[in-house]
Amino acid sequence: MNNLFAETSSLLMNKKKTVMSVIIRQEGSAPRKTGTRCLILEDKTLIGTIGGGLLEYQVIEKAGEVFKTGRSDILQFKLSGKDAAESEMLCGGEVDVFLEPVFPKNKTACRVFHAIKDMLHKGYAGTLLTLVKKDLPYDDEDCRILFKQSGDVIGRIGTSEKAIIQKFENQFKIKKPYLMEPDGLFNKHPIFVEPIKPDDVLYIFGAGHVSRTISSIASKAGFKIFVIDDREELVTKDRFPDAGKRISIPFVDAFEQIAINNSSYIVIVTRGHLYDKEVLEAALNTSPAYIGMIGSRKKRGIIYQTLIDKGISNEMLKEVHSPIGLDIGAETPEEIAVSIVAELIKVRSGITAPKP
């Protein structure tokens, strides 16, 4: 999704029009979830996907109308029978897609999307609010607000800017996009609320067999990959072609070169207990989305007791996923890697809790 925001900024910079389509509501079976976006260009080129099949075909056709009228539209999609089968959706699936014209003449749109691109590039988070209303003209300057992590606010929605800012003073607690229905106070129309955060980055400490498979699978699952190991001969492009960065450095020193935030995931799979303990101790002084350490419960107990003796609290250690990965009976390096990436996906989706 972040790439689409950056792409939108680039299109606007090059004076190109696009129709941004986003799933604002989804019920029942659907191929993609709320908040999934795609961009449609005037020549019907599609950037991204909201599920393929009949759904995507109709969105592209509707986008053609939006280009002609210069006004937003809402596509309500309900499938059953043959249509459901063609769209990979089971009977009863419902999806609402909001299509908004994002044209270079809209100064607020340019400011917002350029700011999002810059914000994500620097590793900062934010929250985007978009007014959901049919027939909004492309030059409407009152239909979106961006809250930046720095505290700056760009854009506006109607004349209710102050009320919206007050309502979203704790907006960085929002984890998932949702459609905020009219409440009769300040928003007469629905507002789509979505958190904007940097790309999820997976830091793999250790460059062994398990790490190689983790890197490959996690990359395909949408994580940016950093591999860290003190053995230069193992941290190579041939061994880790999916990694965006490969660092050969003593494990603990690596924390001086990486920026850990709430979009960071740390997997500890080094070659020995001592290195695992050193990395875990350093990781516990940061605030990532996930820390996982490979090893048996016995090994975990030894390492934990050593850290407790050094002043690390039990509460902090309860946040660590160890033994790492989902319990699927994994034995081979490939199976272990699958279990680890599956757990990363669960944590990213917000449907799991720290292990006891």
User: CB neighbours (10 Å) of residue 91?
Assistant: 13
Domain end, chosen from 102, 119, 154, is at 102
Examine residue 269 and state whether it is found in any structural domain, yes or no: yes
Same domain, 269 and 159: no
Residue finishing a domain among 66, 85, 102: 102
DSSP assigned state of 65 = H
343 with 225, same domain?
yes
Question: What pLDDT, on the 0 to 100 scale, is given for residue 274?
Answer: 92
Q: Return d(Cα 72, Cα 96) in angstroms, integer.
A: 13
Are 174 and 259 contained in the same domain? no
The one-letter amino acid code at 267 reads: V
Same domain (yes/no): 312, 332: yes
Element (H, E) at 126: strand 126-131
Q: What are the structure tokens assigned to 173, written together?
A: 């607690």
One digit per residue, the tens of pLDDT, for the chain of length 356 reads 567 999 999 999 999 999 999 999 988 766 678 899 999 999 999 999 888 788 888 999 999 999 999 999 999 887 665 555 555 544 457 889 999 999 999 999 999 999 999 988 887 888 899 999 999 999 999 899 998 877 888 988 875 556 666 666 555 557 788 998 887 655 678 999 988 888 899 999 999 999 999 999 999 998 999 999 999 999 999 999 999 999 999 998 999 988 888 889 999 999 998 999 999 999 999 989 999 999 888 989 999 999 999 999 999 999 999 999 999 999 999 999 999 999 999 998 876 544 44
**Strands 46-48, 143-148: pairing kind:** unpaired
What range does the domain containing 152 cover? Answer: 107-196
pLDDT of residue 172: 54
In a domain, 356, yes or no: no
Residue 127 in any domain: the answer is: yes
Indicate if 270 and 146 belong to the same structural domain: no
The domain that holds 224 is classified in CATH as 3.40.50.720
Nearby residues of 47 by Cβ (< 8 Å), 6 or more positions away: 4, 7, 38, 39, 40, 41
- Does residue 235 lie in a domain region? yes
Q: Domain for residue 229, yes or no?
A: yes
- Residue 355 within a domain: no
Q: Which residues, including other chains, have CB under 8 Å from residue 186's CB and lie 6 or more apart?
A: 160, 163, 164, 167
3-21: b (≥16 Cβ within 10 Å) or e:
ebbbbbbebbeeeebbbbb
354 falls within a domain: no
Same domain, 236 and 345: yes
So what's the pLDDT on residue 73?
Answer: 96
What's the structural domain count of the chain?
3
- 165 located within any domain: yes
Instruction: Output the pTM of the full model.
Output: 0.72
* 230 and 174 belong to one structural domain: no
Contacts of 161 (CB under 8 A, 6+ apart): 145, 153
Distances (CA, A) of 232 to 201, 246, 320: 21, 9, 28
Residue 265 and residue 149 share a domain = no
74: Cα within 13 Å, side-chain hemisphere: 15
Give yes or no: residues 208 and 310 share one domain: yes
The answer to whether residues 217 and 340 belong to one domain is yes
Residues 208 and 286 in one domain: yes
CA–CA distance, 294 with 303 (Å, rounded to integer)? 12
Residue 63: its pLDDT value, please? 96
Which segments of the chain does DSSP mark as H helices, in order?
Answer: 2-13, 53-69, 81-86, 107-121, 161-167, 209-220, 273-283, 297-309, 314-317, 333-349
Q: Are residue 49 and residue 111 in the same domain, yes or no?
A: no
| Length of the chain in terms of residues written | 356
Integer Cα distance of 99 and 19 in angstroms: 6
Which of 196, 217, 234 delimits the end of a domain?
Answer: 196
- Which residues fall within 8 angstroms of residue 228, CB to CB, at 6 or more apart? 203, 204, 205, 206, 207, 235, 247, 249, 251, 254, 258
